[in-house]
């Protein structure tokens, strides 16, 4: 559809592909905090899809999960800020070790991956692991993967599956 070029003017892209007709809004130099139609509790259909896919994949509808899905102007990749709580006391070091040892996950303790850098790669890239300063045993991390190689909700689910037996 659009040949990738760092010098491309996004206004020209928007006009060429009629992005506002596709997305309902200008996508170039913009972030759209709505994917799909609004549904129950003012969540979008895409946000409910993340919840339902997680339940289905993990075969557990008791998991407390929520999501905010936003459309951003990248060619490929899904990016996620993931918040999770562990049942047991866990340290950043312990969680980092689990992530390092997980097949299919590349953990970056001191740096962070960007969508352009992970394009064409099969791994899920995880970074920015940090503790919630206000809630005990609660953590945040950043995850990026090429969505043409990895499924949308699969990134968070695979990380949760690895952490679940030992920490969550």
Asked if 36 and 99 sit in the same domain, the reply is no
Please report the pLDDT score of residue 39 as a whole number: 96
Are 86 and 53 in a shared domain? Answer: no
Q: Does residue 128 sit within a domain?
A: yes
Give residue 12's pLDDT: 63
pLDDT in tens, 9-55: 656 665 666 666 777 888 877 889 999 999 999 999 999 998 998 88
Q: 77 pLDDT exceeds 80? A: yes
Domain hosting residue 68, numbered range: 8-73
The two three-digit tokens of residue 49, written as one number: 């899809």
Average pLDDT taken over every residue of the chain? 84
- For the chain, the domain total comes to 2
- Residue after which a domain boundary falls, among 24, 49, 73: 73
| Same domain, yes or no: 68 and 81 | no
Q: Are residues 113 and 142 in the same domain?
A: yes
Residue 159 domain-assigned? Answer: yes
pLDDT at 91 over 70: yes
What's the pLDDT at 17? 62
Q: pLDDT digit string (tens) for 31-42?
A: 899 999 999 999
Residue 1 confidence (pLDDT): 41
3-state secondary structure of 145: strand
């Amino acid at each position: 559809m659009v040949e990738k070029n760092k010098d491309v003017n996004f206004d020209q892209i928007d006009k060429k592909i009629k992005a506002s007709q596709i997305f309902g809004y200008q996508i170039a130099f913009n972030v759209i905090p709505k994917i799909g139609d609004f549904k129950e509790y003012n969540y979008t259909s895409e946000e409910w899809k993340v919840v339902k896919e997680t339940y289905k994949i993990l075969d557990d509808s008791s998991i407390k999960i929520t999501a905010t899905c936003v459309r951003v102007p990248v060619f490929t990749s899904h990016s996620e800020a993931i918040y999770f709580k562990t049942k047991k006391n866990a340290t950043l070091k312990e969680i980092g070790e689990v992530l390092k040892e997980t097949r299919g996950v590349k953990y970056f303790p001191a740096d962070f991956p960007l969508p352009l850098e992970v394009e064409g790669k099969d791994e899920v890239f995880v970074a920015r692991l940090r503790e919630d300063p206000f809630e005990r045993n609660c953590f945040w991390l950043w995850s990026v993967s090429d969505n043409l190689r990895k499924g949308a909700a699969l990134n968070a689910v695979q990380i949760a599956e690895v952490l679940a037996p030992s920490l969550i």
